[in-house]
Amino acid sequence: MKITFPHMGNTYIAVKGLLEDLGNEVVLAPRCSKKTLELGTKYSPESICLPLKINIGNYIEAIEKGADTVLITGSCGPCRFGFYHIMEQYLLNDFGYDVRIIAFDPPDGKPMVLFNRIAEAMNTSNPYKIIRSGKKAYEILCEADALTDLANKKRPIAINRYEIDMIVEEFYRDIEYTHGVQEILQLIKNTRVRLEEIAIDTERKPIKVGIIGEIYTIIEPFVNLEVEKKLGYLGAEVEKSLTPSDWARHHIFSFPFGSKEEKSKWEAARPYLSTLVGGHGRETIGSAVQYAQAGFDGLIQIFPLTCMPEIVAESILPTIQRDYDIPILTLVVDEMTGEAGYLTRLEAFIDLLKKRREDKNYEGMLLRS
Ligand code: SF4
């Protein structure tokens, strides 16, 4: 079995380590690119949300490298993600790709069905081995997300911002040549040391922007047109409301109760949205409230065109913007999104936030004098 999986931010790094540690042959899909998008768009229904198109592109590129099995998680609730693996299986077979998809679906009262699928994908039915490797993979996920976070925090204050991108780029390139958990963790550690050594300007006080919205668009840099990098270059410190490690903490390591962090978002969202609307619509609202309360300068919601849960959240965000006096920009992405227009909107938004910061500082000065 030659196994592959879609790109979803840093998730692939952890899954690669996990499967390799258990003795599987992993075929890594090339990082998402224009080619991935073109393939996905060509072989997917036009109106389906963008993540499925990119998934299909990833699979085809991995199949061309020899993959014969695809691993993906499932979902439940009112959102298309729950049907992804079924649609993807049909699409790939329809277009002549002889590949099998193994989906880790919620157990729905049949835990053995899920366990058998996990055992098949992991190449072992020894629960001890699976749990031990799963914990190590979670460690990779947390460390990789912390690395991304460190880069995002340092970029706006680094004396030479290009150094950050160079180190991050080298990291993602070198990941492809590592094997197993230990090598990956060592590479993360080395990269962290290099990032920490980058000189910063302690005088700079970057504005703070929270990224909210649909999880895939938040975590996959190709899909959000590297929004973190662009914002960093514009002088903004970015914090993402969702990361792959948050997802794993909530859905796997705190199962069946859910993580404290995600539940606190539901609580914060309650005055505006008290029910599940699918995807992370409720978390988008909760995160917006929490970021506003924490004094962030502005928020950016990103989601794929036709994403139902985020359309619901988008309709509520103007109320939060008014109640907390915090600017919120919404960006909708699909295969037609042009980089120039996207960047112009980000620049205008950051200019607005900087002006508001200046005005507030000036008012503060007047009050003190
Ligand atoms: S959350 Fe939105 S974009 Fe993601 S699968 Fe569901 S409908 Fe599609």
pLDDT in tens, 282-294: 999 999 999 999 9
Whether 124 and 211 map to the same domain: the answer is: no
Radius of gyration in angstroms for the set of CA atoms belonging to the chain, rounded to a whole number: 21
Distance 280 CA to ligand 1 centre (A): 9
User: Ligand 1, from 44, 47, 48, 49: best to mutate by most atoms within 8 Å of Cβ?
Assistant: 49
**38, part of any domain:** yes
Closest CA to 301 of 242, 223, 179, 213: 213
Q: Which of 111, 128, 145 is the last residue of a domain?
A: 128
Distance in Å, CA 49 to ligand 1 centroid: 6
Atom 2 (ligand 1) nearest CA: 307
**Domain presence at residue 272:** yes
Residues 218 and 343 in one domain: yes
- pLDDT bucket at 254, cuts 50 / 70 / 90: confident
Nearest C-alpha to atom 7 of ligand 1 is from which residue? 307
Give the model's pLDDT for residue 330: 98
Please compute the mean of the pLDDT values over residues 153-165 and round it to a whole number. 96
Ligand 1 centroid–CA 219 distance in Å is 13
* One domain for residues 211 and 76: no
Domain boundary pick from 99, 128, 157: 128
- Domain match, 25 and 122 both: yes
Q: Are residues 360 and 256 in the same domain?
A: yes
Flag whether 163 is in a domain.
no
**pLDDT score of 264:** 96
CA 261 to ligand 1 center in whole angstroms: 21
* CA 312 to centroid of ligand 1, rounded, Å: 12
Burial pattern 124-133, b for ≥16 Cβ within 10 A else e, equals: beeeeebeeb
Residues 213 and 355 in one domain: yes
Name residues contacting ligand 1 (CB within 6 A): 49, 51, 79-81, 214, 216, 279, 304, 307-309
The verdict on residue 102 lying in a domain is yes
Q: Is residue 195 part of a domain?
A: no
Measure the CA–CA gap between 118 and 104, rounded to whole angstroms: 7
Whether 329 is in a domain gets the answer yes
- How many independent structural domains does the chain possess? 2
Q: Do the domain assignments include residue 184? A: no
Parent domain of 101: 2-128
In a domain, 142, yes or no: no
Distance 213 CA to ligand 1 centre (A): 10
Round the average pLDDT of the chain to a whole number and report it: 93
Of 100, 128, 156, the residue that ends a domain is: 128
Average pLDDT over every residue of 259-286: 94
Please report, for the domain that includes residue 212, its CATH number: 3.40.50.11900
- Residues 113, 226, single domain; the answer is no
Tell me which of 121 and 167 has the higher pLDDT: 167
Per-residue pLDDT, averaged over 272-289, amounts to: 95
- Atom nearest to 50 CA in ligand 1: 3
256 preceded by a cis bond (ω within 30 of 0) = yes
pLDDT tens for residues 161-193? Answer: 999 999 999 999 999 999 999 999 999 999 999
Give pTM, 2 decimals.
0.94
Q: Is the pLDDT of residue 75 over 90?
A: no
